[in-house]
A and B are shown apart, each in its own frame.
Chain A
Amino acid sequence: MKTQLIGLNPSRRSVLKGIAGSGAALAAGALPGFVQAQSSAPIKLGFQLHRTGIGAAYGRWYERTTQAALKVLNEAGGINGRPVEIVFEDDGTDPKRGAEVVEKLASQHGVDAIFGPLFSHVVIGSAPRAGELKVPYLVCSEGFHVASGMLNRWTLQPGITDVKAQVRAMAPWVAANLGKKVTMVFPDYAFGYDHRDAFSAAMKEQGGEVIALIAIPPTETSYTRYLPQIPAETEVLYHVMVGPGVLTFVKELGEFYGSGAKPHLFGFIDSLEAVDIASPGLEFLEGSHFWEGHNRMQQADASEHEIFYRAAVGVDANGASLADPSDIATYAHMFSTWETLFVIKAGMEAAAYQGVADRQKLVEAIEAMTAMPHSREHPQGDKVFNGKTHQVFGHQFISEVVGGKLLRVHTTSLEDGAYPDAVDYTTQSF
């Protein structure tokens, strides 16, 4: 058999000419957005993604949000004038694979920094490996494990407020508006324990009381059997659930109470992330309240930054994908990947970052950060970063379900969630 390449019979000379020509074109500014820095090689970041496993709904949107942020970042000239690329690696929402992904990104891809994981058991399982490999590991997990001192100098959380501060900020409002006798339903692993511990303590400070704790495994598929444990004298049912069964959880909660009397429902929107609030069987949520880290539905007073961010990621005013209205975003959490990418940019520029040898300088530059104003880079709102605890603190929102829409009724201040530092990572060695 003879292969004929039609009109394509290059000689060695013409190929060399072509390469030289395109090289010259590149040097002459074929990429006008990137001014020449000392090295013009792309900055390579690794993203530890929950593409499959129980975190898949978050993973889908974390990837979209990060791609959107990357586009905005590169169009504005990249980092230090260098283009940025991101390598996405799936960890299956599994702690063991998480550590392997960190290893692969750092050793095989040679990335400058790793960011993006959400589920706390994956973060806790992966962070030690990042510390051993001495690669900056920027998590988007909300867990108190960063600020509690459980992790290491290389692990930071600059994109989202931790659970402890979130629930401390919720407690005064819940106690004042909904009731003081609370039953908590939460997932039976690290993330859920942060809710349990921090909210129980915060409620006590408000003169309230948590009267029952119901832990449910995050892989559970059937929830009705847990619900009779809710004491009848409960005034507020505090619910937070994750995993593929969240819709079943909320539906069975509705079925369980039916048309009978029920406590005030206060949920973390995690119980409803990626779920359409207009789904059949969820009508009972009308009038109930939710914590939102970022308002899923566009509010009347949305800022220009928020509107820009929503459009860039491709989310409509209801919090669904512009391409498919049944594809609901994990809007209350996914801003963290966007903001983390821009923190990396700011950190690398402050550290005059050149290459992997400067990884330590990047961590030190982020530790030096304090105020992060509300901006295109921080569309969720203004924040304050605590370099000692490696944790950022921002405003939280409480929304009420009114006519099937989530309307913001309260915004917390940064002081509402404040708590004393539990660690000073800057005193630890690299």
Chain B
Amino acid sequence: MDFGPFLLLAVMEGLVAAAVLALTAVGLSLVFGVMRVVNVAHGEFFMLGAVSAWFVTHWLPGPPAFGFALALILSPLLVALVAAAADVLVLKRLNYQPQATIVATIGLLYILQQAALSLYGPEARPVAAPFTLAIQFPWFGYSGYKLAVVAAAAVILTGVWLVMTRSRVGLVMRATQIDRDTAQAFGINVDRVYAGVFAFGAALAAVAAVLIVPIRQAHYLMGGDPLLLSFIVVIIGGLGRLRGTVVAALLIGLSDGVVSMFFSPTLAKILATLLVALVLVFRPQGLFGQRAG
């Protein structure tokens, strides 16, 4: 294949990866930024989103688009409920101590994964795409749905940005992020903000999973890769920085797409991990983070 079409395909694949990654990583970044909790179970919320999307579309007769639309609403809601419960029942009781919450979310990871294995089973199951549109370029064909995923992710991320910067909810979250005690002194119910942020972060991962599940299948072990990549993105972008996270997701997604196509996917992973190491050594606050004052 010639260089031009080759690059076009690489960029499109990279954009799809970046879109899903941005959604997942923004959820992780938000939880860390506001709550200072390193959520190791984030990948399992992603998996739970995909698995619940399969249940919704499987039990709902009718056209695939209808079931998919419903899954796009119900799955994040369900995952948000699970996350809120985990926050209230586990994390809150640990007083959000950094070390304790890491261990607790590792436990949560295994509980969610094994629950999915018991209730959903070990199979990879497909979810029908809401529409099928084959785009035929002169050199290769491409799935129109994949491009729709990129557009949908952009819309949702814009929505998240608006909520964070323009709404009262966002104001309360940012206030809690900047100074928890002062926020509490001003009458903000910090417990509720924490539960809400944890649920919202998990719901973003679930949305990403529902978008991707018609391309891949829902599988109980699918949470590992998004977790690793999200951590890479969040560290590079600067912990708790929304804009930095999105830019880093684009960087990692696109470089993953291009490097893995022109060279090898293993090399792409090596480079991403190397970048994390370099960032941690030379710019621990992340490429877009500010040095803690």
Contact = CB atoms under 8 A, between A and B. Distances in A.
A257 B257 CA distance: 19
Contacts of A258: 134-136, 140-142
A53 interface: yes
B128 A280 contact: yes
Interface in B130-166: 132, 134-136, 138-143
Interface string A41-64: 000000000011110110110000
A63 B227 CA distance: 33
A281 to B, nearest CB: 7
A228 B9 contact: yes
B13 A224 contact: yes
Interface string B276-293: 000000000000000000
A53, A54, A255, A279 pick with most chain B CB within 10 angstroms: A255
B46 to A, nearest CB: 12
B136 A260 contact: yes
A25 to B, nearest CB: 40
B117 to A, nearest CB: 6
B126 A222 contact: no
Contact of B217 (A54, A228, A248): A248
Interface stretch (B82-90, B103-111, B176-184, B218-226): B218-226
A256 interface: yes
Contacts of B215: 222, 248
B1 interface: yes
Contacts of B124: 57, 244-245, 247
B63 interface: no
A280 B124 CA distance: 16
Given A228-B261, A248-B217, A221 B225 contact: yes
Contacts of B140: 227-228, 256-258, 260
B135 to A, nearest CB: 8
A217 B224 CA distance: 15
A293 B143 CA distance: 32
A384 to B, nearest CB: 35
Interface residues of A, number: 33
Interface string A281-299: 1000000000000000000
B98 interface: no
Given A225-B261, A255-B141, A259-B136, A248 B1 contact: no
B122 A56 contact: yes
Contacts of B142: 255-256, 258
B6 interface: yes
Interface residues of B, number: 36
Contacts of A53: 122, 221
B120 to A, nearest CB: 11
Contacts of B219: 244
B193 to A, nearest CB: 35
Contact of A222 (B1, B121, B216, B221): B216
B211 interface: no
Nearest to A257: B141
Interface in A208-222: 217, 220-222
Nearest to B142: A255
B9 A224 contact: yes
A226 B9 CA distance: 11
A232 B1 contact: yes
Nearest to A230: B1
Contacts of A280: 128-129, 132
Given A248-B216, A258-B140, A281 B132 contact: yes
A257 B135 CA distance: 11
A274 B215 CA distance: 18
A222 B132 CA distance: 18
A52 B128 CA distance: 24
Nearest to A56: B122
B260 interface: yes
Interface string B199-224: 00000000000000001110101100
B122 A59 contact: yes
A128 B129 CA distance: 46
A67 B260 CA distance: 44
A255 B13 CA distance: 13
Contact of B13 (A220, A222, A244, A260): A222
A259 B216 contact: no
Given A222-B13, A248-B216, A279 B1 contact: no
A222 B17 contact: yes
Interface string A243-267: 0110110001001111110000000
A402 B89 CA distance: 56
Contacts of A57: 123-124
Nearest to B215: A248
A220 B225 CA distance: 10
* Nearest 4 CB-CB pairings of A with B: A258-B141, A56-B122, A244-B124, A52-B122
28 contacts: A54-B221, A56-B123, A57-B123, A59-B122, A60-B122, A60-B123, A220-B265, A221-B216, A224-B9, A225-B10, A225-B13, A227-B140, A228-B10, A232-B1, A244-B217, A245-B124, A245-B217, A247-B124, A255-B134, A258-B135, A258-B136, A258-B140, A259-B134, A260-B141, A274-B123, A280-B128, A280-B129, A281-B132
Given A56-B122, A244-B123, 16 more contacts: A52-B122, A54-B221, A60-B122, A220-B265, A226-B265, A228-B1, A244-B219, A245-B124, A247-B126, A256-B141, A256-B142, A257-B141, A260-B140, A260-B141, A274-B123, A280-B129
Interface of A: 51-54, 56-57, 59-60, 217, 220-222, 224-228, 232, 244-245, 247-248, 252, 255-260, 274, 279-281
